[in-house]
Amino acid sequence: MSNDPLLQPYRLKHLTLKNRVMSTALEPPDSEEGLPLERYRLYHREKARGGIALTMTAGSAIVSADSPPAFGNLHAYRDEIVAPLKALADDVHEHGAAVMIQLTHLGRRTGWNKADWLPVLSASPIREPAHRAFPKEAEDWDIERIVADYAGAAQRMQAAGLDGIEFESYGHLMDSFWSPATSRRQDEWGGSLDNRLRFTWAVIDAVRAAVGPDFIVGIRMAADEDWDKGLSREEGVEIARRIAASGKFDFINLIRGHIDSDAALTGVIPIQGMRSAPHLDFAGEVRAATKFPVFHAARIPDVATARHAIAAGKLDMVGMTRAHIADPHIVAKVIAGQEDRIRPCVGATYCLDRIYEGGEALCIHNAATGREARMPHVIARADTVRRVVVVGAGPAGLEAARVAGERGHSVTMLEASDRAGGQVNVLAANPRRREMVGIIDWRLAELERLGVEIRYNVYAEADDVRALDPDYVIVATGGLPQAPEMVGEALTVSSWDIITGTTRPAGRVLVYDDGGAHAGMTAAEMAARTGTEVDLVTPERFFAPDMGGMNHVPYMRAFHETGTRITINTRLTAVRREGNELVVVLGSDYAPGWSEERRADQVVVEHGVRPLDELYFALKAESRNLGAVDYAALRGEGPLFPDRNADGRFVLYRIGDAVAPRNIHAGIYDALRMGIRW
């Protein structure tokens, strides 16, 4: 038996967890009408297959109908949930993992204008900035009803054969009674700590009466809100002590911080560029103070830190949650001695940002996660070996080469520059986004293992491709910055010029972001950090709408710290030179006659990229499919590439930004879904 601390079994009550690695609660991609149907089940099964000991299903399965879903949460209040959850539990158990579920009443952390349009409630009527609902104060009859709802939900989870449940108690209803930031009550549910805990005891007592003493029940709780007006460390640890001593709970899943705003949420779930494992020591202190099983997750993305957390006795179970979105087979790779093959979580937090934008939790660079029904995490070899040329070693091209290599094809990559990475190199020039290079480095290591040849400094022309006599040609040449429609474009520079250092920010810099994602924001941030005066202008209703709330936080922090001026709802129409200055003419989509002029020394524009598609069009006429992809087949079954040219010598397709400017996930998904089909 291995002596790796991470691989040691852990006994929780009657349950033996086969190792120390878990994934904590998250809303996976994605529940269907509040039920965990096939997609949901396959996602959890994949983690079980990958060797994880415990998967906590559901981000915040809701116990009451008056707690409408904030992001596709499961409906634990419906009896129909039992059958699909049972199927999920059976699948996970079959692969030797345990499965639990997080239950909650979201309290004020949701909106009222959905589902049954019932009022949102909380301990006191204090608004949560992130979801913006004004809650009503929970009345006695609300409390009675919700306590009973917890018990009913717990019973359903037990009936579904789950190994246990945990209550969510940070930023939701349960802890709204605990925290001075959210409870101003002076009745028997507020004031003294005894009163503030009354709701928690009412819930656990009702749940225990429903499920008995043997069912595993834990609590995911903030033991320190790290907030001047919130729950202090002293009181939080005291609550943890009481919970541990009560004999009613089986584990604490520890949180430090509060989540009422996006900025606060990044303290609990840090994104790339923020500290790793910031609360691990505190979790260890709570474990020591309570002598109780403590689980914890907060940016422990790598096996070395996870191993340290267990070896140093800070945790009983270590959560590697986003790490498992990026690679659900972490433990299997550790066991196989292939730690270096784990696809790294680069902390991009595309996954979490998407759910708050109403999308599924997808990984920026693992397009199979959440699509397990059709996209494999382990790629099978093809029946016939083909000669493949991939042009462009950005994320899409590298993924295409990786997939082709895994299929057993003979692959040659041609890359115009002297290094791989494409636009990832641009994004990663922002020091706090450096981890993005993990997307490239992991693929380069995989390609080396697969024997894929990469020829650098080859600006591929059609003849270079023809000379390799390929069966398949994949054009992943990406794009180059394009300017928005305007007068005086020649007087501007691109966001990439600033980010890559081709142009140094100087004097007063006006950044016009008509891209809506990272590049414009990064240019503004990097310029502002050099000490120049930055004026950020966007035609959007709020800046960078394609980015998401968690990623917004460090940009906004930088803009506040540097005094960057932000103007929304405003379009740049022209730039002209007057003496040593540039005059920027601004207009409005809303009031066509409105115009304003501002002066700057430098104007930076961001408007996405123009596809670099010359090679694709040069080769198109001699391809068998004339470049065509059958989208119906791509979504379903059948041959992807129609035979449109009997004289064609190869199949040709393009992926990523070489088709149209999108994002890293889109390029990687293109590469995977097309690459596994031939």
Ligand X SMILES: Cc1cc2nc3c(=O)[nH]c(=O)nc-3n(C[C@H](O)[C@H](O)[C@H](O)COP(=O)(O)O)c2cc1C
Q: Kindly list the residues in this chain that would bind ligand SF4 in the complex (CB under 6 A).
A: 322, 325-326, 345-351, 363-365
Establish if 103 lies at the interface with ligand X (CB under 6 A).
no
For residue 30, give the nearest of 63, 57, 54 by alpha carbon: 57
Residue pair 415/392 in contact (Cβ under 8 Å)? The answer is yes
With respect to ligand SF4, which residue has the nearer C-beta, 48 or 550? 550
Joined tokens for residue 231: 């729950």
Q: Please tell me the count of residues contacting ligand X according to CB under 6 A.
A: 23
Minimum distance, C-beta of residue 102 to ligand X, in the bound complex (Å) = 6
Q: Residue count of the chain, please give it.
A: 678
Q: Is the dihedral of CA 103, 107, 109, 112 positive or negative?
A: positive
Establish if 25 lies at the interface with ligand X (CB under 6 A).
yes
Residue pair 203/167 in contact (Cβ under 8 Å)? The answer is yes
Identify the residue whose tokens are 């409105």.
594
CA 391 – CA 615 distance, rounded (Å): 9
Minimum distance, C-beta of residue 61 to ligand X, in the bound complex (Å) = 9
Minimum distance, C-beta of residue 218 to ligand X, in the bound complex (Å) = 12
The item of ligand X, ligand SF4, none sharing an interface with residue 299, based on CB under 5 to 8 Å by kind, is ligand X
Angle CA(677)–CA(614)–CA(657) in degrees, nearest 5? 55
Looking at residue 491, what DSSP letter applies? G
Identify the residue whose tokens are 């997609």.
39
**DSSP-derived 3-state class of residue 623:** strand
Does an H or E element contain 252, and which?
strand 251-255
Q: Determine how many CB atoms are found less than 10 A away from the CB of residue 609.
A: 21
Provide the β-strand partners of residue 304. none
Q: What Cα–Cα distance (Å) separates residue 668 from each residue in 189, 367, 368, 402, 663?
A: 51, 7, 10, 11, 9
With respect to ligand SF4, which residue has the nearer C-beta, 163 or 327? 327
Establish if 62 lies at the interface with ligand X (CB under 6 A).
no
With respect to ligand X, which residue has the nearer C-beta, 165 or 493? 165
Residues 263-302 that bind ligand X (CB under 6 A): 269, 297-300
The item of ligand SF4, ligand X, none sharing an interface with residue 300, based on CB under 5 to 8 Å by kind, is ligand X
Minimum distance, C-beta of residue 33 to ligand X, in the bound complex (Å) = 18
Establish if 59 lies at the interface with ligand X (CB under 6 A).
yes
With respect to ligand X, which residue has the nearer C-beta, 160 or 269? 269
Q: Which of 46, 66, 163, 168 binds ligand X (CB under 6 A)?
A: 168
Establish if 106 lies at the interface with ligand X (CB under 6 A).
no
Provide the β-strand partners of residue 218. 166, 251
The item of ligand SF4, ligand X, none sharing an interface with residue 627, based on CB under 5 to 8 Å by kind, is none
With respect to ligand X, which residue has the nearer C-beta, 356 or 417? 356
Residue pair 138/121 in contact (Cβ under 8 Å)? The answer is yes
Establish if 223 lies at the interface with ligand X (CB under 6 A).
no
Assign 3-state DSSP to the chain and report helix, strand, coil percentages, each to 5.
35, 20, 45
Minimum distance, C-beta of residue 63 to ligand X, in the bound complex (Å) = 13
Provide the β-strand partners of residue 99. 55
Give the residue at shortest CB distance from ligand X: 59
The item of ligand SF4, ligand X, none sharing an interface with residue 363, based on CB under 5 to 8 Å by kind, is ligand SF4
CA 89 – CA 160 distance, rounded (Å): 7
The item of ligand X, ligand SF4, none sharing an interface with residue 21, based on CB under 5 to 8 Å by kind, is none
Q: Determine how many CB atoms are found less than 10 A away from the CB of residue 138.
A: 23
Contacts of 288 (CB under 8 A, 6+ apart): none
Q: Determine how many CB atoms are found less than 10 A away from the CB of residue 340.
A: 10
For residue 388, give the nearest of 475, 505, 273 by alpha carbon: 475
Q: Which of 85, 147, 283, 361 binds ligand X (CB under 6 A)?
A: 361
With respect to ligand X, which residue has the nearer C-beta, 57 or 564? 57
The item of ligand SF4, ligand X, none sharing an interface with residue 510, based on CB under 5 to 8 Å by kind, is none
With respect to ligand X, which residue has the nearer C-beta, 274 or 450? 274
Q: Regarding beta strands 565-567 and 533-537, do their DSSP bridges make them parallel or antiparallel, or are they unpaired?
A: parallel
With respect to ligand X, which residue has the nearer C-beta, 325 or 676? 325
Residues 622-651 that bind ligand X (CB under 6 A): none
Q: Which of 7, 17, 26, 544 binds ligand X (CB under 6 A)?
A: 26
The item of ligand X, ligand SF4, none sharing an interface with residue 346, based on CB under 5 to 8 Å by kind, is ligand SF4
With respect to ligand X, which residue has the nearer C-beta, 34 or 478? 34
Minimum distance, C-beta of residue 318 to ligand X, in the bound complex (Å) = 9
Q: Which of 131, 220, 365, 443 binds ligand X (CB under 6 A)?
A: 220
CA 56 – CA 564 distance, rounded (Å): 42
The item of ligand X, ligand SF4, none sharing an interface with residue 55, based on CB under 5 to 8 Å by kind, is none
Establish if 320 lies at the interface with ligand X (CB under 6 A).
yes
- State CA 565 to chain mean position distance: 29
CA 600 – CA 580 distance, rounded (Å): 9
Sequential DSSP letters for 512-565: EE-S-SHHHHHHHHHHHHTT-EEEEE-SSSSS-TTT-HHHHHHHHHHHHHHT-E
Establish if 553 lies at the interface with ligand X (CB under 6 A).
no
Establish if 370 lies at the interface with ligand X (CB under 6 A).
no
Establish if 423 lies at the interface with ligand X (CB under 6 A).
no
Minimum distance, C-beta of residue 188 to ligand X, in the bound complex (Å) = 28
With respect to ligand SF4, which residue has the nearer C-beta, 325 or 671? 325
Establish if 665 lies at the interface with ligand X (CB under 6 A).
no
Provide the β-strand partners of residue 96. none
Residue pair 17/55 in contact (Cβ under 8 Å)? The answer is no
Establish if 600 lies at the interface with ligand X (CB under 6 A).
no
Establish if 352 lies at the interface with ligand X (CB under 6 A).
yes
Binding window for ligand X (CB under 6 A); candidates: 43-51, 349-357, 388-396, 647-655: 349-357
Site residues for ligand X per CB under 6 A: 24-27, 59-60, 102, 168, 220, 269, 297-300, 319-323, 351-352, 355, 361
